[in-house]
Chains A and B, each alone.
Chain A
Amino acid sequence: MDAITPYDLRPWVGQYGKHIRAELPTPTHANLPAMARAAAQRFAAQTAFTTVMPNGMYGSLSYGQVDTMSDHFARYLRTVLKLEAGDRVAIQMPNCLSYPVVLLGVLKAGCVAVNTNPMYTANEMAHQFKDSGAKAVVMVDLFADKLQEALPRTDVKHVVITRVPEFFPPVVGGIVYAVMKYWNQQIPAHGLTAATLPDALKQGAAAGGDVQAWSAALTHDSLALLQYTGGTTGVAKGAMLTHGNLLWNLAQMRAMCASHIDDGREVVLTALPLYHIFAFTVNFLCMFEAGARNILVPSPRPIQNLQRAIENYKITWLTGVNTLYNALLAEEWFTAFPPKHLKAAGGGGAAMHHAVVERFEQVTGAPLVEGYGLTESSPVVCFQPLNGQRTRDSIGIPAPMTDVRLVNDIGEPVPLGQPGELIVRGPQVMHGYWQRPEATAEVIKDGWLYTGDVAVMDEHGTFKIVDRKKDMILVSGFNVYPNEIEDALTRHDGVLEAAVVGVPDAKSGEAVRAFVVRRDENLSAEVLMTHCRTLLTGYKLPARIEFRDELPKSAVGKILRRDLRTEVLVAQNKNEG
């Protein structure tokens, strides 16, 4: 790798224009608590978070309240529970007012947050808590019974329970809670010895302790977050994200969006879960620093749950994944009354389909920019620029201070325009996987993070993801990328969503299998095949189209092709056996 490659010249910097700074100074705040405190002082009286229930009932916390309450929670962890700096505290809850209080409390205490999906099974919880060595868990009451089941297999000593309508006005919170408990029967009984969050805050306030001192010890290299990833491929690994990683990524995102973020005036809708890195960094960290009001929706499923949130607040920013935007566009209340104040929307997590992007922009009049990132990179690597030329179906350009290269199987950069594995180097790249040096060595080589995604770059430095390296289908020696086939399928009006996987085939090695959710019940496989023939060459055509009521999805709504493939493999094995 001696010669200068097309990537070393950072051709994308030309696209930054006057709105994006190419060189960013090292973030001034030494750690996330310092950032949060500065924001809380600047915007003290402004509303920081509002949780909106499906019927429109809501509760809010101001920047000042979040700051004070998270101080109390830090005191509870250090003074009452006697946790030490660096101890892991798992946080397991849907989007609700408790989240920012607990998360900032954990960081202010100098502890490490283990961001955990509350819908995990007892087994998954046990693994994640054991692996991270979490000493305390703050959990939503909705799944406390599973925690009880998992607890004996972990080192967890302390449990704090919170509820979805925590910190709501008493009458409203009481009604929401009563409906959840007695009518929906969503809240299981449990035998855990646990403090409630309000109680923990009270104890912390009474116990005291020098919060400033605990966080003063934290530097950019201090661990802030263990964000588990890869749970469905095998064993979930904890990506170690430091205060520096997250502060840098925050600064990078702020630089990319500078033209569209007006400090202290934004209202961002957070429908994606904060336990996922995308919403965590973009919606929570960035928007907190920017003094935005964060509208938290506990669950975006069914999608109608977003209706009152969108109607009742002047949403200026929205983040989501393809499936969420697709679902929104299928709702009449959204298309008839799109958010008027929307300035921009961001998409990521999985490839956005351009039919969805076009329709969304046409309906709302705001740009929907697609980004690309990974848990391992805090997560943002690339984003389409909000100003200037945007290339459809691209992931845009690398964030400032980020290097991206495309390499072949032996790690050599591929020529311009050729597909290669995308590798990343930048201040947002994790320090490795928690206690897994081998796994770390597999993905971080010479300071470059190997993403496993295949991409191409054009001469302006715009990247397009071709597909996941391992999702590529090899049909009679031809490479077929599922994204392209899915895009062709969803261009048919009768198709709501589609997933394409490769399945073993006696003749062609692998064959293309399509799974389709119809918008129009009368759509037949024949009609859809005819449609595909107009867009795809022969070897790319699905060998079979299966209609489904829904597709398997991850917590954030990414379609899980892997599950579909496994399903087919199991079926084939059975037939053979």
Chain B
Amino acid sequence: MPAHRIPGSPAVAPGRLVRFTFDGREYEGVEGEPLAASLLAAERPILSRSFRFHRPRGLMCSTGGCGWCECEVDGVPSVRSCRVPVREGLVARGEHAWPSVERDLLSLVGLASRWIPPTFYHHRFLRPRRLRKRYLDVLRWFGGRGRLRVGDRAPSRGRPTRRLETDVLVVGGGRAGLLAALGAVDAGARVVLLEAEREVGGGWRVETGTDRGPGTAAELAAGASAAGVEILAGVAAIGWYDGMVAAIGDDRHLEIRAGAVVAATGSYDRVPLVPGADRPGVIAARTVTALIERYGILPGRQALLVGAGQELTTAGERLARAGASTVVGPVPTASLVSIRGGRRVSGAVTRHDRKRERHAVDLVVCADRSPNLDLVLAAGATVERRGDTLMPVSDASGHTSIPSLFVAGSAAGRPILGAGEADISREAGRAAAVHATGRIGQAEVAGPRQPSPAAAASTSERARPGTSGNGHVRPMRDVARGAMVCFCEDVRAWEIGAEQGAGYEDPELIKRRTGALTGPCQGKYCLQSFACLVGAGAIPTARPPLRPVRLGDLVASDPEGRA
């Protein structure tokens, strides 16, 4: 019994039990908790199957980013079930599996995965021509994921457009974004802040219900509101279009033009680059803490903690307190060799010095993060590789190589751990305000603004999106051949190496040949590994939108209206 509800947990008590179905079977959940969590508690950890090899996938990031939890919900295809509040009568189904995601016979193709490179199709069934069509019919039949409801449907209602001009736009309402907004307001700027979630606060402390004591995100938000920041929650930034930031809320589209933009978009989980790291049971630390603290669900009995940092420590403590029998670690990410198991995690292998150690665990908790570069890359700002992580190039106040773009907090590679980082985020807001208004507080800035050091000439370790690395290959250390680089397309490290060996060295060609970076996660969960594996300059062109958007949400009541 790997995952279960924690007896007597206060998180379970206040909720109403509701019944829903998944793949035709009925389950109980607590109203309002994420569907993916209900299914985990009901011992149905497999939520989806990967595109190529039908590998089992489950709840991992819980932020709606990784896409491992996509299933059909009430007839809508490929919904990220970690963001769906469970309710009475909800009908969910697994996708891209037969007969079910739990036992998917199509996963047998994975047994031959070694002989099926991504370009397999191009070298099969060349003759006879008659069979070629049949072969492609079969391929087409096995392709695809979600099922589209086709039938008589009413056309979508168009949303009106709000056009907004402001001095400073802060994207992201976590701690860093709120602090940057406060910094900008203090410097006399008009400030708008976008938060994709319903409530500001962001960050793992809030998500996991561990944001307590003075200086909470809620207090920061109240302060920002009081200071005059226009906070737009439930509004997701969709793209950077030549400096204009487009965003979508429930009932409108927004086109925001700002003198300066602060990207405070946080970070993405970095799944360890080892074989087996995509199995159900590999879960981000913040998800683990949230499951225990907010939903009263213990995601595993024997856990291995991988990585470092406060998030991981907190997850470990909560696991131990909630009744996990074993909590091993933390062990450094570099010491992890592989994650074992079949349809769930059943073990992990680590290496210390030359000693390999096998741990019998059903949960691997990982806590590495890398900056969310979505907006930074969309704007075309320069990034650089530090260690095995791409970071935006920015000066002390978060100024990037794009004159009107600043970064703050985790998105800048400066997560807010204490007062020092908090001051830096405030400073990013203040600098953005100065850039936008040309004033410091009420005083005019004397003389022209100094160019940002970040705008200085780039080094070989720096790159802008769409600039290809001209065969400059500097591989990452010690990556196992079978390590999964891109999860959406099941691209393993050796497949990238094989393309390079065959002469397809340009990152754009590797992307196209393997499909890496092109899946439904939009490269959010593979760009870092891909870039480090392929070489410093390996950042294919960034392409909007910043997050997947349903076509119906893009329908405008005034589509031809131009600002």
Bound pair (A, B) = no
Q: A residues near B, CB below 8 A? A: none
Q: B residues near A, CB below 8 A? A: none
